[in-house]
Structure 1
Amino acid sequence: MDLAPLTGEPLALDLVNTRPATGDLLATPDDLRAWLGLQADRLPEARELAAELTAADLAAVHAVREHTAQAVEHVRRGAPPSATALESLNQAQRAAPAINELAWNGTSITAVRRRAGGGGARLAAWLAEAAAELLADPAVSKIRQCEADDCVMLFLPAHPRRRWCSAARCGNRVRVARHYQRHRPA
C-alpha cells in the first residue's frame, strides 16, 4: 500500500488519515515537517512552525490526532463523542489563543490570524481548531471509511457514490483485484 499522505480532505481528516492501517505517517518531527509542507496552503504559519518542531510538539499533534479520530468516529456514527476528547481539543485551542493581528501595509490596515505561544502549542491549536470546525459541521455525519479491504482512511464524499479514499490508490487496487478474479485461469 502507498504510504504517502493523502491530502485534500478537511484538514482534520487529513490529520486523522496520517494513521493508515500500518505505520504512522507522523512518526518523527521530520515526518511532521513534510506533512506541514503538504498543508502549507491552508495551515497558517506552517512554514514557520515546521522550522522549530520538537519531539514534544509531535506528541502534542499526536494527542490532537487521537482525540480528533475518536470524536469523528463517534459523531459519524451518530454517537456522542467523549467529554475527554472534546475537552482535550478545547485545551489545545486554549493553549495558543488566536488573534487577528493588525498591521499597516502602507495603504490600509491588514488583519492576519495568528496564534500566541510556542510552536508546538500553536500547531496543536490550529489542528484542534480544524477538528472543532469539522465536528461542528453537519456534514461530519457523512464521513465515510474507504471501502478497500485493507484501508482505514476517512473521507468526506463530494459525490454520494464515492467509495474509496482515492480512486487512483484504493479504487485502482479494488478494480484490478476484481478484474483478476473474473479473468483468472480455472
Structure 2
Amino acid sequence: MTFFPLTGEPLALDLLNTRPAGMGDLIADRAGLAAWLAVEGDRLSRVAEVGEAEVAAAHAVREAAGPALEAARRGERPPAHALEALNAVLAAAPAHREVYWSALTGLVAAAHREAAPAARLAAELAEAVVDLLTDERVASVRACEADDCVLLFLPAHPRRRWCVASACGNRARVARYYARHKGERP
C-alpha cells in the first residue's frame, strides 16, 4: 500500500504533494493513482478502473498546477502555458449542475460531466487547482520548512511551519537539539 505523507489539504495541494522529496512520484502508475484516489474519497467522482489515460491526465494537471501555484503564491501572473493547459483540460469535460433529491440531505445540486473517465478526472483536478488559484488564501500556501521536504500546505494557524508536526517538525526539533548539544560531554 502506498503511503501519502500529507492529505486533507485543498485537493490541488494534495495533488501537488504526490511528489514528495525522496519518495519519487507516488502516482507514477495505475496502482499509485488508484491508491491516492481511494485516500481522497468523496472529493472526486469515482473512477471505475484506473488506466494509463487517467495517470497521464493527473500528471498533466499536476504539471500545469505547479508553476501556476508557485506564481500565484508570489502574487505574480502564472505562466501562460500553465493556464492554457488547465483551460484545455476544463474544456474537454465541461460540467453542468444537476439537481436531485437525497433522502438524507434533501435537494442536492451536483456537478455532472459527460466525458471519458480520464477527461472527467483531469477536469475535476483542474477545477480544484483553479479554485485554489483564485482563492484569496493562495498567498498563504506554504512550503514545509523542513530541509528535506517539499510538501505544501494551507496553514490553519499562522505559526504552522511544517507539513506534519509529528514528522518534519520532530525531525527539525531533534536536529536543533543535537546541534546545540554537539560536542558536550555528560
Q: TM-score, normalised by structure 2?
A: 0.89
CA contact (8 A) 2:13 2:153 kept: yes
Write the distance in 1 (CA, Å) between the matches of 2:180 and 2:100: 64
Matches within 5 A, 1:58-69: 58-69=55-66
Write the distance in 2 (CA, Å) between the matches of 1:110 and 1:3: 33
CA contact (8 A) 1:5 1:25 kept: no
1:101 aligns to what?
A: 98
Q: Which runs of 5+ in 1 are unaligned?
A: none
1:36 aligns to what?
A: 37
1:73 aligns to what?
A: 70
Shift of 1:104: 5.6
Query: Which of 145, 154, 157 does residue 156 from structure 1 map onto?
Result: 154
Write the distance in 1 (CA, Å) between the matches of 2:161 and 2:122: 30
Residue identity opposite 2:64 in structure 1: H
Matches within 5 A, 1:130-169: 130-169=128-167
Matches within 5 A, 1:90-129: 90-103=87-100, 110-129=108-127
CA contact (8 A) 2:54 2:118 kept: yes
Residue identity opposite 1:15 in structure 2: L
Matches within 5 A, 1:166-177: 166-177=164-175
Alignment deviations for residues 15-57 of structure 1 (CA, whole Å, 9 cap, x no partner): 01111123111111110111011111322x1xx31x3221122
Matches within 5 A, 1:40-59: 40-43=41-44, 45=45, 48-49=46-47, 51-59=48-56
Shift of 1:78: 2.1
Residues 79 and 112 of structure 1: CA distance in aligned 2, closer, same or farther (over 3 Å): closer
Shift of 1:134: 0.3
3-state SS of paired residue (1:41): helix
Shift of 1:156: 1.1
Alignment deviations for residues 118-168 of structure 1 (CA, whole Å, 9 cap, x no partner): 111100000000000000011111111111001111111111111111111
Alignment deviations for residues 49-89 of structure 1 (CA, whole Å, 9 cap, x no partner): 1x322112211110100110110011112221011101111
Which is further off, 76-85 or 123-132? 76-85
How many residue pairs match? The answer is 180
Residue identity opposite 2:8 in structure 1: G
3-state SS of paired residue (2:42): coil
